[in-house]
A = this chain, B = another copy of it.
Amino acid sequence: MTRATPYNRDKALDAAMSLFWEKGFHATSLKDLEAGLKMKPGSIYAAFSSKENLYLLALERYFEKSRLGHRAQMARAASPLAGLAAHFRTIAALSPNDMARQACMLTKSLVDTQTTEPAIAEKTRSYLAAMQQEFAAGFARAQKMGELPDSANTNRLARRFQANLAALRFELHLGTDALETAELAEDMAREIENLRVCGASE
């Protein structure tokens, strides 16, 4: 029988995700990770092979959480378009000390690693594509329900949605105050709501 692992993999990965999300791949040093994960270098390497691999696991974790969060948001909503619009307002309403009150980790990741870490950049792009798919599926459901006209291009709408999302979260990163952020989110949410065909049932 194998000995029980004395470190908590889940907590360690959560800590890694926080660190990498906040500081990025390059600016997060092994020293930072040792402190954050409460593990010594040898243990980190035994458990996660390399800094790069740990980053990839943290990024995957972020992606899974994001997708789950989005799906929960959509499930809660009265209709697909309402859920998509709510996404913006939810982000702007994040508590001031919420960890998520910063740029999207995928956005930061791509900026940080595009020129230096091709493997990470590639994975990041694939997660961004998957999220866009997720949004496109939302718009497609809206279309099927008659919330969106048949002529609407769901992929194009999804791209626009993701662009808005990235921009809104960059605004959090910038530190723009809550009121102005809320206005921006409101503009984006209204843009979604205005797509609604008149008289569509919820």
Contacts and interface: CB of A to CB of B under 8 A. Distances in A.
A27 B115 CA distance: 8
B184 A160 contact: yes
Interface string A5-36: 00000000000000000111011000000000
B160 A166 contact: no
B156 A110 contact: no
Interface in A94-130: 103, 107-108, 110-112, 114-116, 125, 128
A155 to B, nearest CB: 8
A91 interface: no
Contact of A164 (B125, B167, B180): B167
Contact of A163 (B103, B107, B110, B171): B171
Task: Determine chain A's interface SS by DSSP, over half rule.
Answer: helix
Q: How many copies make up the complex?
A: 2
A64 interface: no
A71 interface: no
Contact of A173 (B111, B160, B183): B111
Given A24-B111, A116-B23, A159 B184 contact: yes
A4 interface: no
A184 B133 CA distance: 16
Contacts of A184: 156, 159-160, 163
A180 B167 contact: no
A130 to B, nearest CB: 14
Given A156-B184, A159-B183, 9 more contacts: A24-B111, A24-B112, A24-B115, A26-B27, A125-B174, A159-B180, A159-B184, A167-B167, A191-B191
